[in-house]
Amino acid sequence: MEPQAACMPTSRAMYYRGNGIIFNNPLDIPDDDYFMRVLRGHSAETYVRLNYPWAVGDDGELLYPPNEIHGMYNKWLDQLVCGHRTSDFHTALTLEDYIIAMESGYVVMTSGAFEGLPGHAFCVIGWDGEFFRLADPWGDWRTGYTAVQGYDVRMSVEEWVEHVKPVGAQKKWAHLPLSERT
């Protein structure tokens, strides 16, 4: 469903699986399609209107669909599919915070900006001492996403600063499992 808009639902499915988090999908469709379906539903839109006034225009229309709002994942989707929150969304994580999470064996869901793609979600799945290892639902950002295999794509520290949001800042956004609080 809407693959051009589904990087966050797909990344959330990768986050759950990578962290061994049990979740519910009562439909016989792929997990990310199920997440997209419920995040584009009436209940999710109602939640956005009540909890994210900045995402609602003066005319009452949503400026951002629920599947594009980070808080919908740890505050709404987690409750729906896991029965409890599984993460906190942090807005000031350092390079060291990411490395500690990787060395602790956690998968981190984050977002970034790449050429021609101002907003995109993916998971950081490892750190080898020099490069972060990514699981990107669209493929390899280094090829402009012409290569569609996005598992174990490398990102240097300099590239991390340049591409992970907020772009150019030293402190970044990410969903960390609740047991990995910083």
Does some domain include residue 182? no
Per-residue pLDDT of 117-139, as tens digits, reads: 888 999 999 999 999 999 999 99
Q: Are residues 127 and 173 in the same domain?
A: yes
pTM: 0.93
Residue 180: what pLDDT? 46
Kindly state the average pLDDT of the residues 56-84. Answer: 96
Does some domain include residue 93? yes
Alpha helix ranges (H) inside 19-172: 31-39, 42-51, 71-72, 78-82, 95-103, 157-163
Domain range for residue 104?
A: 89-177
Q: Are residues 102 and 159 in the same domain?
A: yes
Per-residue pLDDT of 89-115, as tens digits, reads: 999 999 999 999 999 999 999 999 998
Q: Are residues 130 and 79 in the same domain?
A: no
In angstroms, the CA 10 to CA 139 distance is 12
Does some domain include residue 162? yes
Does residue 24 have a pLDDT over 80?
yes
How many domains would you assign to the chain?
A: 2
Does some domain include residue 128? yes
